[in-house]
Amino acid sequence: MNFQSSEQWQPPQEPPPSPYAGSEATRLMCAGVYLDPEFRRRVIGELVEHDERTVPPSLGFDLITVLAHALRARTLELWTGAVLAVLWIGFWYSEIRPVFDGSPSGASWSPYNPQSYSSYANSSSSGQLFGSSVQHVTLLFVNFALLYALVTLVSWFAKPAEVREYALYAPATPGGTRGTARRSGGWRTAVAVIFQLLYWMAALSGLFSGTDPKGVVFPLMLAATVGGHRLLVAQVVRRELGRDTFGTRPPRPLPDRPYYRRLQQAITAEQYSQLVVYDPADPFLGAGFPYRPWSFALELKRSKTGPVVTDAGDLTARAVLDLIVPRLAALRQAAAETSLDRLRELEIEHLVFLPYGPTRADVPRGSAEINQHIAEAVDEGGERRRHFLRVRVGAWDEQVVLSVLLRVHTQGQLLVLEVVPHVLGPVWRDYELLADAMAQRGVRLRRRRPAVSAFTAAPAALRILLHPGGRASGTTEDDAFLVSARPMVSLRELAASPTVSIFQELDVHRYLKTVQERIIDGVREALHNQGYETGRFEQTVVQVMEGGIHIGSMSGGAVATNGGTAQTGVNVPAQGTTGPASRQASAEIR
């Protein structure tokens, strides 16, 4: 893309359908909203409950498709929660009804049969009153509904937190990055098993004696409801989110309502826009995490050897970028002709970072306004409005995304070059393992004791009753009530894994080296064409690239030195955290 003619940058009047709706990253994020209720709540919370916020760039995935599946998953959960609530209300009412109508049934003795206490009722009125009181207290505080509620609570708290979330949806909970949090609670599990055994002994006793079959019927109905919900989720994952079927199906649309149509238009215009609305506290939200960023300032001196360039004028950022972009485009073309390397899909795009405004509607989205921002910001060198050239490589089917953000600034006889690479890690491997397991085991689920599996997952249904639909969590109270157009959370970063494989890291390093070489060649040629010395530039590049000078912390923008060794590894935060604080406290992957 050349800056000489603004007509060459004309964006389409209406954003086209997302080219990433069928990517692997989109598929796994869609599976995540079914299998991870916490992630689903964050998706709906950030995009629907906080619709005043601008969304950060969507690199290699489609937010609309993810939101559509999140809304569908919430609808399934709400219907299941309604059925469970009706079952519990009916169970409690059937147990305590004799207290209100005074007509207990059943003749044989049972601790849950009020007539078992008739021995207390003798000819004296006081004895009858005492016997009636015991019956009422027994019905209110000793019944199958209360006992099963107690068993459910004990079983719920005996499970690790993440097993509670997954158990309702997945037929199995594979080990993975969260495996350490899934180990059972030891004595808590033993207590839960004891409570369950005691309950079933009493329930089966009531069933075989013919006095009270509700103690067995209700758990069966509860298990059938939970099992039906799991089969629905498994069917959706198997038919719509399978590895071989997801890319061939049309993307799932949002509900056909005026509100969601307006929301879709806003998200579609923002997630791939050349105007990036940013929060100064975290300007590169959505791009991942810094990977060896570097910068330097070079004093420009006219060359004393070779032909003297008298009419070239001062060196500008526009002139430098006009020489870098063709080299990157040639790299993409060469990769497409000679190999299957991911560099053949290299994306080159000019971006303008704008600070957030009072409302979401204040951000300009017209083509003329975008062109004007780009044309003005290239040589501006301002603090708040900044121009970047973004070079993006979506590797491993958009699972690993490398974004190299380049900013060139010239002022007088000074050249400032800023190269800020970012890496976005793969989606949580748990989502892939669970989704693929449900897709592959779809047939075998009918033969693997589904009733037993539903019984073991039934206590997890308590989460639906406690959080029907759920409100977004993971944010502070101030964030929950803050109305601002600034982007605050990247859902792709929330779903990113803190680890990458050695193959993925080697690919990232290779792509980065290749792109940086093209950038350096373009800057060198620009200096040479304008009649400036290139020796000092080459020495500075060697010092930066091989001597180990890099930006150690993006929050302060300081330049640090790591003792002459090059930094390696991708800095990523702990799961469930985003923003500059998490980036400073990130763990390094090697």
Backbone φ and ψ of 415, nearest 5°: -115, 125
Residue with tokens 């569908």: 72
CA dist 494 and 43 (Å) reads 10
- What's the rounded Cα separation, in Å, for the pair 53 and 43? 13
Among residues 579, 581, 547, the alpha carbon closest in space to that of 561 is found at 547
Cα(132)–Cα(590) distance, rounded to whole angstroms?
Answer: 73
- Find all residues with CB under 8 Å of 425, minimum gap 6, and list them: 288, 289, 400, 496, 497, 498, 499, 500, 570, 572
| DSSP single-letter state for residue 353 | E
Query: Which residues contact residue 328 at a Cβ distance below 8 angstroms, ignoring those fewer than 6 apart?
Result: 346, 348, 391, 515, 518, 519
Specify the pLDDT at position 78. 87
H or E stretch covering 325:
helix 317-338
Q: Provide the token pair at 383.
A: 């603090």
Digitized pLDDT (tens) for each residue of the chain, 590 residues in all: 444 433 343 443 445 678 899 899 999 999 999 988 889 999 999 999 988 899 999 999 999 999 999 999 999 988 888 888 888 888 877 777 665 565 544 434 344 444 444 444 444 444 444 445 545 554 444 577 777 777 777 776 766 655 555 556 654 444 443 443 444 456 767 777 777 777 777 777 766 776 667 777 888 888 888 888 888 888 888 889 988 889 888 899 999 999 999 999 999 989 999 999 999 989 999 999 998 898 888 888 887 775 555 555 678 889 899 999 999 999 888 888 877 788 888 999 999 999 887 778 777 778 888 889 998 998 888 888 999 999 999 999 999 999 999 999 887 788 889 999 999 999 998 888 888 887 776 545 444 444 455 555 565 566 666 565 554 444 444 455 556 778 989 999 999 987 889 999 999 999 999 999 999 999 988 888 888 888 888 888 877 766 554 444 333 333 333 333 333 344 333 333 434 333 333 333 33
Question: What is the number of residues in the chain?
Answer: 590
For 56, 228, 288, 290, the CA distances from 30, given in Å and listed in that order, are: 18, 20, 19, 26
Domains of the chain, residue spans = 21-101+143-272+429-497, 107-139, 289-424+501-590
Tell me, what amino acid is at 24?
Answer: E
For 535-571, letters b (16+ CB in 10 Å) and e give eebeebbeebbebbbbbeebeeeebeeeeeeebebbb
| CA proximity to 352, closest of 324, 371, 327 | 371
CA distance 491 to 32: 11
The Cα-based distances of 325 to 295, 332, 380, 395, 403 in angstroms read 19, 11, 19, 21, 15
pLDDT at res. 195: 74
**pLDDT score of 182:** 43
Residue 33, pLDDT score? 93
Q: What distance in Å separates the CA atoms of residue 453 and residue 436, rounded to the nearest whole number?
A: 19
Spell out a b/e string for 313-329, using b for 16 or more CB atoms within 10 Å of the CB, else e: eebbbbbbbbbbbebbe
Predicted model pTM: 0.78
Residue whose structure tokens are 């060697």: 542
d(CA 153, CA 171): 21
pLDDT of residue 460: 55
d(CA 535, CA 231): 67
Largest CA distance in the chain: 126
d(CA 132, CA 148): 25
pLDDT at 100: 58
